Structure 1
Amino acid sequence: MTTRTPDPVAVQFRFYEAHVVRSRRLTPSMVRVTFGGEQLATFAGGGRDQSLSLFLPHPGQSAPVVPIHSGEDWFSEWRAIDPGERAVMRSYTVREQRRAQAEVDIDFALHGDTGPASRWAGRVRPGDRVVMLGPAVEDNRGVCFRPPPGTDHVLMAADETALPAVGAILAWLPAGMRARVWIEVPDVADIQDLPSAATAEVRWLVRGTTPPGSGLLVEAVRGARMPAGTPYAWIAGESASVRTLRRHLVAERGLHRRQVTFAGYWRLGASNDDLQAEALSAAAV
């Protein structure tokens, strides 16, 4: 057997210049934006929860300011640009990719003008220019959903910020795989159709007037009966809730740590700008 050596991180990703082709409101709190451009023909998405860094322009700019020709040192050069000029950088999941058309779909959770990405997505127009830092090879570290060999069913728990990833994972799962999914959304109108070849049981948790991150998702999973077998769990959403669910699955349900993948997409009481500032500070250490 030949063992493939993973590509170095430096060659797993590259910059892609793209533009908005169209947008479509999916639900009251989510819009799907389709991006196109010749360079996206080589976008090597690995499916599942494939993530990318999306660079957006500030109001009044015709294109995001990103040092896209700076090689491996792009991050340092991007940080050196005036914060009022350098592109807004956010992480997103690829909802769907159509390589033949060189198109990539990204779903944006809308929350008014409380952040630059939501503001941009709420006003997006065809032709608007962006830059993506995305995969140059399919097997890349931007894909975190990786069930171990022998997995016979999948457990997923997420809030609306991770709903695009859940949808992409369900679309990727093969026929015969069982999946049990809990998804928290703000309103009943935010429920979406999530096609899958897998045998999927999806439970929608409508938050209503309950504040986000208040434990609705945690309580639903804690109170559920789990199927027998060899599970793999994927959890994403508010950071504290995600950590609580991981502890529950490992300490109380008996899953091995390698059977649980978790990701904090946001943190209660912290804005995206706060989290990005923390990440920048950590990167400087």
Structure 2
Amino acid sequence: MNTTGLLEVTAVRRVTPRTARVTFTGEGLDALAAWPDQQLKLLFPPPGRPVRLPEADGDVMRWYQAYLAIPEDERPLMRSYTVRDRGKDTIDVDFVLHAGAPGPATTWARSAAPGQVVGRYGPDAAYRRPVPAADTVLLAGDETALPAIATLLSEVDNAVVFVEVADAAEEQALPQVRWVHRDGAEHGARLVAAVRETDWPAGRAAAWLGGEASTVRALRRHLVERGVDKSAIEFTGYWRRKLTQDDAPTPEDLADAREKLGG
């Protein structure tokens, strides 16, 4: 299947005060297989320009080199997202409208409207990472992890789920979720505390963690201290406080990458 192409916005709605759900259609989506935690990269056009796709397909490194070869003033901004829901030939993607000075993707999402066009790379089944089998599976993250958690709940029937959101207005209609409200507290602090205070059922445990990178690291360290095997913890830092995806990786980011690669 062609893993790259154009997506056109067909609908936009606010599912919470701080979350916009954008429905896209595009060539090839009807042939895309479904699986939980389905990730893709969206390419947003520079202001005043159409989106320009890299002239390569297939191998991700060849595609990425072609992306970098696009002149900087024409190169689309690339950000990673998770498919929230699917139709026959559509996908829904949730955009968290972060407080404070908006980044380029949030700026785009705030004014998204039917007819607008972005590019995509993926989803690619080569990057599917199933949650390890266990007696109890912890799913934990912030609002940016909600799309992945919502889809993972379709295949994990023994989950303990914690999601931290800004306040009660940000809750969504999902089963099993234990909502944690920041209510002005430091991002991630109450989520980590809630997981720490939870007693696990007997048996083997596994985990899927997503959200702000330093919070994910804190949760992972805690689970390892509790005896959860590192190989049974799937983790992804979706974003970093005070840094964007365009900033250079920190030593902690590099350590995370080595851990994921088994180094």
Of residues 109, 118, 124 in structure 2, which corresponds to 1:130?
118
Of residues 159, 178, 182 in structure 2, which corresponds to 1:207?
182
Unaligned runs of 5+ in 2: 258-263
Give identity over the alignment, percent: 42
Aligned to 1:216: 190
1:238 and 2:212 matched: yes
| Distance change >3 Å, CA 70–CA 49, structure 1 → 2 | closer
Query: What secondary structure, in the 3-state scheme, does the structure 2 residue paired with 1:16 have?
Result: strand
Aligned length: 250
Aligned to 1:266: 239
Aligned to 1:51: 39
Give the letter aligned to residue 96 of structure 2: A
| TM-score, reference length from structure 2 | 0.87
Q: Supply the distance in 2 between the matched residues of 1:248 and 1:104 (Cα, whole angstroms).
A: 35
Would you say the 8 A contact 1:53–1:134 is kept in 2? Answer: yes
Would you say the 8 A contact 1:115–1:272 is kept in 2? Answer: no
Q: Supply the distance in 2 between the matched residues of 1:35 and 1:275 (Cα, whole angstroms).
A: 30
Would you say the 8 A contact 1:56–1:87 is kept in 2? Answer: yes
Aligned to 2:66: 77
CA deviation vs aligned residue, 1:231-253 (integer Å, no higher than 9, x gap)? 221111121221121111112x2
CA deviation vs aligned residue, 1:168-204 (integer Å, no higher than 9, x gap)? 211x225xx2211111101210000015xxxx3x211
Matching of residues 1-285 of structure 1 within 5 Å: 14-45=3-34, 47-61=35-49, 63-69=50-56, 72=59, 73-98=62-87, 100=88, 102-111=89-98, 114-135=102-123, 139-141=125-127, 143-148=128-133, 151-170=134-153, 172-173=154-155, 177-195=157-175, 200=176, 202-213=177-188, 215-251=189-225, 253-274=226-247
Offset at residue 16 of structure 1 (A): 2.5
Would you say the 8 A contact 1:44–1:135 is kept in 2? Answer: no
Unaligned runs of 5+ in 1: 1-10
Query: What secondary structure, in the 3-state scheme, does the structure 1 residue paired with 2:185 have?
Result: coil
Q: Supply the distance in 2 between the matched residues of 1:225 and 1:70 (Cα, whole angstroms).
A: 47
Give the letter aligned to residue 179 of structure 1: A
Would you say the 8 A contact 1:18–1:39 is kept in 2? Answer: no
Give the letter aligned to residue 203 of structure 1: R
Offset at residue 255 of structure 1 (A): 1.1
Tell me how large the CA RMSD over aligned residues is: 2.3
| TM-score, reference length from structure 1 | 0.80
Query: What secondary structure, in the 3-state scheme, does the structure 1 residue paired with 2:108 have?
Result: helix
Q: Supply the distance in 1 between the matched residues of 2:131 and 2:215 (Cα, whole angstroms).
A: 21
Would you say the 8 A contact 2:131–2:208 is kept in 1? Answer: no
Offset at residue 228 of structure 1 (A): 1.4
Would you say the 8 A contact 2:54–2:70 is kept in 1? Answer: no
CA deviation vs aligned residue, 1:140-188 (integer Å, no higher than 9, x gap)? 21x233223xx23211110111111111211x225xx221111110121
